[in-house]
Structure 1
Amino acid sequence: MVFTKPEIIEWQSQYPILKDIMDLNPVFWSNPNLKNVEEMDSLPLSREDIEEAELRWQRFAPFLERAFPETSSTNGIIESPLEEISQMKEEYLPDMEGTFYLKCDHELPVAGSIKARGGFYEVLQYAEKLALESGILRKDENYDVFSTDRFKSFFNQYSIGVGSTGNLGLSIGIISAKLGFNVSVYMSMDAKQWKKDLLRENGAEVLEFEGDFSEAILAGREATEADPNGYFIDDEDSEHLFLGYSVAALRLEKQLKEKGITVDADHPLIVYLPCGVGGSPGGITFGMKHVLGNHVHCIFVEPTHSPSVLIGLLTGEMDNVSVHDFGIDNRTEADGLAVGRPSRFATIISDQLVSGIYTIEDNGLYRQLANLADSEGIYLEPSAASGLIGPDRIYPYTEANNIKLSHATHIAWSTGGSLVPDDHMAVFYNKGKSLG
């Protein structure tokens, strides 16, 4: 769909914030369509779906533990720690009320990013489905059998394709190749070379495109669907990716209880989630709302040059609009967030669940990255640092909704960084320090 200049002018009149978005100025937008859990319109998924997804993760734990020894300490469960970042708060957010935590998805085993949640999950559910339908698997047996040559030979008949800016492709490439699938990752121009190299080292085919994320997805979908045994993982429209992310809420609920953290009207939980196509923050938000209720407030974060979900929700056009329609170039150093068009599936759900969205300039990502490294000794890739400024950006929303922050818990959700080569990380850090 192509939008005319008069239509965009009309939107600017209806939504004054749109001019700032088009001028690439950082903004905060509060979602007027936010609903309480009990008031939400019918959604295509439920809490029961989240719990079923967690059971699937548990079934595959024996396989994951054998296939990836780095998961042995958690018995094959892929999860990240929740760490308080009090020094970051004290040194760089002196006016912040409440406590500040980092959900360390940059430490997720194997793939080193949040995409291990969704990407791994979708491949595992597909592998389970094929194995059950073929009769080589019984649901009640030990899933350690997925490590055997018999299963790898079986999956070698099938191919998996995915379009990616980097981390999703990395997670899907690693887990698919480990199971025995033939996997092809269609990567946009934003993807970093080291991620392409790592994929190839793990047995995935990497195909590179000069265009952006949407072009890579289109090419990947067409090529994969031309194969009768092909399965395309569609980040723009995937229920399974979404559910894989949603299970994080059950895990976080347990971590909060272990730390004695209450979530209620007097103790709100505010979560800052980096946002690309919208699947991972949308899935986590969906899980949070169903598991922790109305007093968790989820805020998405997008680069000023790639505010695709913000524009889709603001205009109500969802995935019908692209940032390019508004003269925005979709060029950002936050490669995982460099998405011009939002997810169809996730955005429709997030429309009722996300509290707001703020945008951040690339230089702000580098500053926050360096600040975290200096204060906590934690190193993230640029996109993963986007939530660290959240407590300074939340006030328009909390004041308008009379949310008391004195006993609030803030969580910035990191998304990647542990696999970044040291020389690349040094470049990120030095750039952040040079910006002051």
Structure 2
Amino acid sequence: MFTRSSDKALSDQQARRRVASAMLVGTTLEWYDFFLYGTAAALIFNKQFFPSLSPAAGTLAAFSTFAVGFVARPLGGLVFGHFGDRVGRRNTLIVSLLMMGAASTLIGVVPNYGSIGVWAPVLLVLLRVVQGLGLGGEGAGATLMSMEHAPAGKRNLYAGFPQMGTPAGLVLANVVFLTTNAVMPSGAFDAWGWRIPFLLSAVLVVIGLVIRLHVEESPSFSRVVSHRAVERFPLREAMRVGVGRMALTLGVMIANSAVAYVFMVFTLSYGTEHLDYSRSFLIVCVSVAAVIWFATIPFWTRIADRSGRRSMFVGGSVALLIWCLVFLPMLGTGSAVITAAAFLGMGVIVPITHSVQGAIIADTFPAAVRYSGTSLILQVGAILGGGLAPIISSALVGESGGAAGVTAYLAVVCLLSLVCAVVLFARVPEPEPAAAAAAEGATV
């Protein structure tokens, strides 16, 4: 027979699981929208919105519109971070989901260049900005909402659930894109069928909203409110952790973002235009790798909770450096088997560091200013890493005709992140998992 305490424990456990599930579903839908644009930018938008340019220049222009979303993300992070620290995590996450879904749906109805001329890419860029603003508020908020509901000793595990939304959104976007392409007549998909996955966002955002409306506010923010510790200018207070620590934390996350966007987005255009792989083959390879990425995040976060994330993150950074040295050369062999193995390796290695980077960044800041500080680091890192990676990679290939420059670029970025991780972990002791929640309650 259950006692009142056991009933409450069961209720708390169910509430935590509901929050973790809601954050996973919400981030999956937001990343679906974001990655859908990336896939379309790699394969479709150069023909639809930049037909007067050469194939190489059109691809570069399409990737530039993809990067615009990253430029908008820090602004979204600052705005949503400010209100997330002042009025709560839950409501800001609902607004970010609405913005992302509305922008993606409207991209599905934007006329192409042949219909309205230069206004077509202008509208595309404007909607991409809205996408970036929405995702800028999502990344940090979902991680905090989940982590701040976590029981003692499971902060990395719970912070990892929103991280799972990245590969899940990628898989969903690629599956919908690939399926739509497969069932349509030849040429119809490139002409207008690519719009269907974007229009599907309207349905998906409704599902996400229904789920998110049934979660409770973060306990950490509730304690901030009850202690009357809400900051008037949370970003200013967040900066008090020090420029040095923030710069090191920023450096830690750049490599994972850069490598991930090269393997998820850049390889789609590079593989089809320079290596003669089929579009479907590359999308399947990326999707299978993302499934592995998704499935292994709980494994890595549990290890981080049990054994500490320091050695795991440094080891993962070394593995990422090694694999980025062989990844593009493996694609360049022309062997489908070796290429598939290269993508599978990415699916295994990328989640080691990605699974805990959200928790590492969030633990840099106290609860009262955590949304603002975490958003700033995440979104600036996303620009320097993922936002620039496809553009830089395309430019390097266009200059040399090969991928050696891209490999060197990734190696430098990975080495930089590895050095930052070693220095950061040497300077900042890792908190004991069981003590983190108690310490948080005392510092609001």
TM over 0.5: no
Greater per-residue strand proportion: 1
- TM-score norm. by structure 2 comes to 0.26
Greater per-residue helix proportion: 2
- TM-score norm. by structure 1 comes to 0.26
Which one has more relative contact order, counting CA pairs under 8 Å at least 6 apart?
2
